[in-house]
Amino acid sequence: MIALLVAAALGLAISIFGTPYAIRVLRRREIGQFIQEDIQGQHGHKQGTPTMGGVVFVTAAVIGWFLAHVRLWTPDTGITFSFREFQPGGWLAVLALVGMATVGLLDDWVKYSNKRSLGLSKAAKFGGQLGIAAIFAFFATNAGLNTEISFVRPLGIDLGVFFVVWVLLMLTGAANGVNLSDGMDGLAAGASALVVGAYTIISFWKWRNGEEFLDNPIYEALSPLELAIISAAMLGALLGFLWWNAPPAKIFMGDVGSQGIGGLLAALALLTNTHLLLALVGAIFVAETVSVILQVGSFRLTGKRIFRIAPIHFHFDLGGWPETTVVIRFWILTGIGVALGLGLFYADFLRIGGLL
């Protein structure tokens, strides 16, 4: 528990104090956001706002996770200096976080270099994501990760060699969902903090009811305590970033942030064997993605649009809702999804005979 608190505190401190420095550097280098033409009317004033802020909270989360392994005191030896052993699950989660963030950083850099809102080509971005998925799947299966599709636990449908495809779908799906939500001040950061917070609880609960404490463990997960630590570190880092990203935002996370968050969320779901639960806990990201798919499909098939504009948060924006209203209501909806997801997770625990 102390490691989780240390990770969260370090992530928060590094992010909240590091972000103003990043804002100054980005402004000096004129690295700002490019606003797409169809929302210039409502959000044109944000043109030039510093972006790529995700570098700060991704870095803060990794440092928080790493330093949470440092032991300065133990009940047996008193003041000491040692490292808690690093586990495979933690390295895999960091791989997904940093790997996907790197793809996003390259995308942001191309946008900045070309002075436009279009970044990497689809082939280049997909190639990077595929490479990360393949590396993740290789090391995860070698570390003993269950390759069955799961909800709150494995469902008995083993993917075998197709597991790498499933990893790719989850990584790209989560990353794109967070990316599509990153269109209003604080929307993606606040929603992501809620979802990451849920996975801090899930990971810690799986550790406390896993093989380390029980002869007949209730749950199967890969290094759940490590996952709880990196989740706590990211939660603190996102809250620190949200201090500066809340309306009116002084900085945006950019693709480096949204891709990194998506990669971490997918990794947490995969490593805790809660693949499909992520769709409920992160329902707002699913809704954003589905709204774009429906909009594109409807326009191509019928020539008509379902929404005023997609993703869906802009639909309400053009409908007259103030930006802060949209953001807070979407946070509330995310909280409802998180509550339902955690409720189902705990209901399953009770169903199999667990005790408080």
pLDDT in tens, 243-300: 999 988 999 999 999 999 999 999 999 999 999 999 999 999 999 999 999 999 998 9
Has residue 53 got a pLDDT over 90?
Answer: yes
Has residue 120 got a pLDDT over 50?
Answer: yes
With b meaning 16 or more CB within 10 Å and e meaning fewer, what string describes 286-324?
Answer: bbbbbbbeebeeeeeeeeeeebebbbbbbbbbeeeeebe
Tokens coding 254: 């950019």
Asked if 42 contacts 59 with a C-beta cutoff of 8 angstroms, the reply is no
CA atoms within 13 A on the CB side of 147: 19
Q: What is the pLDDT of residues 74-109, one digit of tens each?
A: 555 656 666 788 999 999 999 999 999 999 999 988
Please report the pLDDT score of residue 117 as a whole number. 64
Cα–Cα distance measured from residue 296 to residue 62, given in angstroms and rounded to the nearest whole number? 37
CA atoms within 13 A on the CB side of 354: 18
Q: What is the pLDDT of residues 131-147, one digit of tens each?
A: 999 999 999 999 999 99
Asked if 110 contacts 188 with a C-beta cutoff of 8 angstroms, the reply is no
* Residues 252, 258, 259, 261, Cα dihedral to 10°: 130
Weakest-pLDDT range from 14-18, 151-155, 250-254, 299-303: 299-303
- Single-letter amino acid code for the residue at 57: F
Strands (DSSP E) contained in 209-298 are none
